[in-house]
């Protein structure tokens, strides 16, 4: 299911443009519109799940692919060796703004929490 009001569902559906780096069964990776590191990519399940509270609905293979695609993108962006943050902001206290589960891949400079 997709959510009509969700920006990431719109990107999945092609209604909203994004610089897509990987497009495969169940998983999409695209550049963050407001990159806060030299490399800032979002990796998402194509299926709408608002947060980790819904992780049980994501097929195991898709969850695993999110990790693998993150590493794959890091390699092709040239930051796999220098390192990168793989991060999920989950809920208000983490500053989650888009309620479609997504992992940030950030690198190309020293990335610190928060
Ligand atoms: P959150 O704080 O929810 O973990 O991060 C949401 C991220 O989505 C932010 O880094 C923000 O810049 C990015 N974002 C929000 N809207 C869009 C959009 O329409 N396109 C793209 N490519 N990124 C978006
Ligand atoms: Zn969505």
Average pLDDT over residues 69-96: 98
* Ligand 1 contacts CB of residue 18 (under 6 A): yes
- What domains sit in the chain, N to C, each tagged with a CATH number? 7-107 (3.30.428.10)
- Residue 4's pLDDT is 87
Which ligand places an atom closest to the C-alpha of 48? 2
* Average model confidence (pLDDT) across the chain: 97
Site to probe by mutation for ligand 1, drawn from 17, 32, 39, 40 as the one with most ligand atoms within 8 Å of Cβ, is 32
* Ligand 1 contacts CB of residue 98 (under 6 A): yes
Q: Where are the beta strands (DSSP E) in 33-108?
A: 39-45, 84-87, 103-107
> Is 102 a residue of the active site?
yes
Average pLDDT over residues 28-46: 98
* pLDDT at position 113 over 90: no
Average pLDDT over residues 42-71: 98
Q: Which region, left, alpha or beta, applies to residue 75 given φ > 0 means left and ψ of -120 to 50 means alpha?
A: alpha
pTM over 0.95: yes
Q: Choose the catalytic residue: 40, 100, 102, 104.
A: 102
């Amino acid at each position: 299911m997709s959510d009509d009001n969700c920006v990431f569902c719109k990107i999945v559906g092609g209604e909203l443009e994004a610089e897509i780096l990987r497009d495969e069964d169940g998983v999409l990776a695209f550049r963050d519109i407001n990159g806060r590191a030299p490399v800032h990519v979002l990796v998402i399940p194509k299926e709408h799940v608002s947060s980790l509270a819904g992780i049980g609905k994501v097929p195991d293979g898709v969850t695993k692919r999110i990790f693998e695609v993150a590493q794959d993108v890091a390699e092709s962006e040239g930051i796999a060796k220098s390192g990168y943050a793989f991060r999920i902001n989950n809920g208000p206290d983490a500053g989650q703004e888009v309620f479609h589960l997504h992992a940030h891949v950030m690198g190309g400079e020293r990335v610190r929490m928060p």
